[in-house]
């Protein structure tokens, strides 16, 4: 068990490296990975089940005690990122499938890798976890509606079908994980250390499957998609931060909202794009899985060296152990 826990720590710490490596391998030799495409939905469900195993009621406490930053952050996430994606798709004149895929990446909820980045950046961890959890719970309704409004001009969108898909791959697995945690707490406590390794492995398989299916498209459209994802992420981080500034929130909240707004659940984007659009539409989310786990650590490192104005950090520090488990379920 200790060996698996150590492997999980290594896999989580160098997640961006592993994603880039598996993407390169799948791009150079796609054939062995093509058959994995049919397992994308199941694998994402496994990742979400792992999150459910670590989810705690305290994650939502801040929604009741200090709701303003949470609602501001989640509102900014579901307004800024979809609209920025829509604008970039028009500005860069992306082909229909890539345009819809970029809007999809902007319309999915926050990814849990952002929780790790917020902690490292000395931001408000409780706010970050609450934003991730709340945006995920809202996703079955908000994500399909955003796609219908913004991506419908490029590709047909079936919001009811997408609603069902998000329930199946996100909400139900998380709920099952939460139930198992409550019913079998001792068993979960003993095995929880291997969950990060399983989650990272699942995401790597998803990335390899989509990259293999898009090997030809990466060669022809990879650069423009990367530019779009790079700009989308950067603008999201910037606007998320200044939204919090305009509303007078403190520096800890600003950092949390910035990283939450800028980093999406790329795994969900891949699964939804593959199921409802095409493998090509999943390409922006694949790049997102790679780039978000590069830009996030860079920004977190810069911020970690700068003091914040929060005097009492004990509530966040007390969640260090939980963060180790939750945060390693990379998006």
Is there a domain that residue 121 lies in?
yes
Domain count, the chain: 1
Is there a domain that residue 35 lies in?
no
pTM of the model: 0.79
Of 124, 81, 25, 61, nearest to 285 by C-alpha is 81
CA-to-CA dists, residue 122 to 101, 235, 317, angstroms: 32, 21, 10
Residue ranges for the chain with pLDDT beneath 50:
311-330
Q: Are 139 and 330 in contact (CB under 8 A)?
A: no
Q: Are 78 and 135 in contact (CB under 8 A)?
A: yes
* Domain span at 294: 2-29+42-326
Of 292, 209, 293, nearest to 27 by C-alpha is 209
Is there a domain that residue 331 lies in?
no
Is there a domain that residue 36 lies in?
no
Is there a domain that residue 282 lies in?
yes
pLDDT at 141: 92
pLDDT at 310: 55
pLDDT at 1: 52
pLDDT at 6: 61
Let me know if 309 is exposed, middle or buried by CB neighbors in 10 A (0-12, 13-18, 19+).
exposed
Q: What is the CATH number of the domain that holds 175?
A: 1.20.1530.20
Extract the tokens encoding 89: 């798709």
Is there a domain that residue 37 lies in?
no
Rounded Cα gap, residues 331 and 322, in angstroms: 17
Q: Are 208 and 36 in contact (CB under 8 A)?
A: yes
Phi, psi of 278 (to 5 degrees): -165, 165
Tell me the three state secondary structure of residue 110.
strand
pLDDT at 7: 58
Q: Are 254 and 245 in contact (CB under 8 A)?
A: yes
Of 258, 287, 300, 113, nearest to 200 by C-alpha is 113
pLDDT at 10: 59
Is there a domain that residue 240 lies in?
yes
Rounded Cα gap, residues 154 and 101, in angstroms: 10
pLDDT at 89: 95
Is there a domain that residue 34 lies in?
no
Q: What is the pLDDT of residues 89-126, one digit of tens each?
A: 999 999 999 999 999 999 999 877 787 778 778 888 88
pLDDT at 319: 45
């Amino acid at each position: 068990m200790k060996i698996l826990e150590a492997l999980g720590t290594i896999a989580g710490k160098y997640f961006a490296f592993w994603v880039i490596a598996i993407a390169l391998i799948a791009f150079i030799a796609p054939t062995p990975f093509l058959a994995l495409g049919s397992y994308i939905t199941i694998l994402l469900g496994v990742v979400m089940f792992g999150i459910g195993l670590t989810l705690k009621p305290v994650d939502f406490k801040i929604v009741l005690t200090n709701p303003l930053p949470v609602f501001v952050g989640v509102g900014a996430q579901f307004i800024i990122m979809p609209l920025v994606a829509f604008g970039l798709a028009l500005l860069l004149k992306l082909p229909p499938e890539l345009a819809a895929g970029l809007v999809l990446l902007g319309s999915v909820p926050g990814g849990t890798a952002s929780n790790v980045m917020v902690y490292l950046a000395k931001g408000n961890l409780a706010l970050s976890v609450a934003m991730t959890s709340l945006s995920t719970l809202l996703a079955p309704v908000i994500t399909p509606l955003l796609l219908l409004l913004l991506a419908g001009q490029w590709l047909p969108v079936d919001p009811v079908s997408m609603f069902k898909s998000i329930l199946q791959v996100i909400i139900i697995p998380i709920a099952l994980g939460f139930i198992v945690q409550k019913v079998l707490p001792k068993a979960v406590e003993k095995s929880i250390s291997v969950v990060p390794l399983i989650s990272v492995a699942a995401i790597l398989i998803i990335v390899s499957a989509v990259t293999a299916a898009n090997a030809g498209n990466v060669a022809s459209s990879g650069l423009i998609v990367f530019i779009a994802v790079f700009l989308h992420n950067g603008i999201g981080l910037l606007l998320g931060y200044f939204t919090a500034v305009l509303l007078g929130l403190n520096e800890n909240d600003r950092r949390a909202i910035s990283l939450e707004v800028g980093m999406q659940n790329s795994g969900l984007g891949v699964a939804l794009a593959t199921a409802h659009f095409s493998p090509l539409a999943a390409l922006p989310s694949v790049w997102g899985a790679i780039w978000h786990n590069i830009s996030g650590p860079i920004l977190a490192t810069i911020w970690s060296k700068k003091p914040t104005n929060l005097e009492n950090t004990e509530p966040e520090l007390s969640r260090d152990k939980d963060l180790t488990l939750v945060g390693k379920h990379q998006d």
